[in-house]
């Protein structure tokens, strides 16, 4: 049996969300320290066997509005430890600075692996992480509706396309509400809101691109969420079939009705 392959990146980004109402995570220095403590490369190589790549912004690199010119937080355990010390979160006698809960869906294996890796990476800087697993409905109700979480690792892309304005769902203060796939972090920045409104009224693509670049820069500086990875979807199919969805990003959930068996025949 022979196989064909296709490879590509959709515009979605998978992120680690912070609950900005949490007294410790409300501290920007803490969020930035967490970002430096997380090793995205290890996550993409271990949880996804190299099929994913580290994310650089809140828009995926396949988006026409993506810009890499935003604040970056390279993996640096020493720097993360120093930042937490300077922020006043010293280690206790057991080496722990504070404890956070990390929610993750239990129905997808890679979500569990990511959560475990992040737990271990944060332990290296004195942050104890308690993992909270559940089915998708339970986790989403807890995170988006009740806002009863500290951190949440999203498994399944936070969709950011085809039009980049969709990220307003997650970063506009007007979308802080008790509903799934909204502004879970309770992030609010008046300038970001203004830029989203301006981008929605702008027709010229290059002008819009500049506005979304400014949004990405502000959001990555405020860090309500850490972009962790993009890609990561692997699908195998036999060359005996045709009509395979051309989009590797959406093909795993849409378009199966178009697939047909080349050696088959229509019913008479």
pLDDT digits 0-9 by tens, 118-176:
999 999 999 999 999 999 899 999 999 999 999 999 865 566 567 899 899 999 999 99
pTM for the full model? 0.85
The answer on pLDDT for 204 being more than 70 is yes
Return contacts of 264-267, CB within 8 angstroms, 24+ apart. Answer: none
Query: Nearest to residue 65, comparing CAs of 264, 198, 208, 166?
Result: 208
Query: For the chain, what are the domain ranges?
Result: 3-160+223-261
pLDDT digits 0-9 by tens, 237-256:
677 888 776 554 444 455 66
Please compute the mean of the pLDDT values over residues 178-206 and round it to a whole number: 96
Q: Which fold has domain 3-160+223-261?
A: Dipeptide-binding Protein; domain 3 (3.10.105)
Do β-strands 3-4 and 241-242 pair in parallel, antiparallel, or remain unpaired?
unpaired
**How far apart, in Å, are the Cα atoms of 173 and each of 48, 193, 196, 209?**
33, 7, 10, 21
Question: DSSP assignment of 11-22, as one string?
Answer: S-BEEEEE-TTS
Is the preceding peptide bond at 160 cis, omega within 30 degrees of 0?
no
Q: Quote the CA–CA distance of 167 and 227 in Å, as a whole number.
A: 13
Q: Map tokens 């992030």 to a residue.
A: 187
**How far apart, in Å, are the Cα atoms of 247 and each of 118, 155, 218, 239, 244?**
30, 19, 30, 17, 9
Q: Quote the CA–CA distance of 105 and 134 in Å, as a whole number.
A: 5
More confident residue, 106 or 253: 106
Determine what percent of the chain is predicted with pLDDT higher than 70: 85
- Helical residues (DSSP H) of the chain, grouped into ranges: 28-37, 40-46, 77-86, 109-123, 136-140, 168-171, 190-201, 205-222
- Helical residues (DSSP H) of 87-156, grouped into ranges: 109-123, 136-140
């Amino acid at each position: 049996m022979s196989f064909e392959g296709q490879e590509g990146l959709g515009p979605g980004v998978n992120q680690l969300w912070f609950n900005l109402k949490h007294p410790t995570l409300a501290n920007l220095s803490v969020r930035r320290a967490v970002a430096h403590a997380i090793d995205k490369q290890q996550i993409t190589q271990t949880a996804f066997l190299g099929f994913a790549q580290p994310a650089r912004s809140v828009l995926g690199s396949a988006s026409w509005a993506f810009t890499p010119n935003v604040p970056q937080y390279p993996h640096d355990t020493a720097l993360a430890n120093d930042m937490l010390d300077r922020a006043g979160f010293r280690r206790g006698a057991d080496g722990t600075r504070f404890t956070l809960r990390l929610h993750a869906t239990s129905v997808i294996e890679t979500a569990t692996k990511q959560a475990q890796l992040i737990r271990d990476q944060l332990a290296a800087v004195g942050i104890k992480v308690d993992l909270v697993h559940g089915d998708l409905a339970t986790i989403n109700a807890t995170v988006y509706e009740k806002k009863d979480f500290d951190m949440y690792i999203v498994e399944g892309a936070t969709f950011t396309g085809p039009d980049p304005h969709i990220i307003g769902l997650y970063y506009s203060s007007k979308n802080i509400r008790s509903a799934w796939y909204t502004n879970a972090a309770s992030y609010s920045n008046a300038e970001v809101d203004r830029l989203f409104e301006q981008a929605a009224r702008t027709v010229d693509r290059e002008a819009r691109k500049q506005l979304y670049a400014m949004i990405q820069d502000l959001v990555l500086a405020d860090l309500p969420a850490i972009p962790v990875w993009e890609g990561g979807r692997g699908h195998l199919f036999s060359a005996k079939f045709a009509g395979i969805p051309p989009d590797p990003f959406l093909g795993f959930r849409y378009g199966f009705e178009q697939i047909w068996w080349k050696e088959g025949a229509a019913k008479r």
